[in-house]
Structure 1
Amino acid sequence: MSRSLSSADLAVALRALGFLAELLEAVKVAQVGGDASS
């Protein structure tokens, strides 16, 4: 049963990518120690 990507699938994928991006930013900020030199 093959299934094509629906708009709902894309929305979920975009939300997951956005969540991962925010997570990476939080990790980078934590590693730098909250330094605002960026």
Structure 2
Amino acid sequence: MVFERRLTDGRAVTRMRERRPEAVLAWDELTASA
């Protein structure tokens, strides 16, 4: 389940990366600690 969610989250992050680069950095910290 976690792996599948990471795939979908990865797509969402790719979209956010264009609009909010700072949000992606914060997201990377969450996924790294999780």
TM-score class, shorter-chain normalisation, is 0.3 to 0.5
TM-score, structure 1 length as denominator? 0.40
Q: Which has the larger radius of gyration?
A: 1
Greater RCO (Cα-Cα under 8 Å, separation 6 or more): 2
Query: Could you tell me the TM-score, scaled by structure 2's length?
Result: 0.43
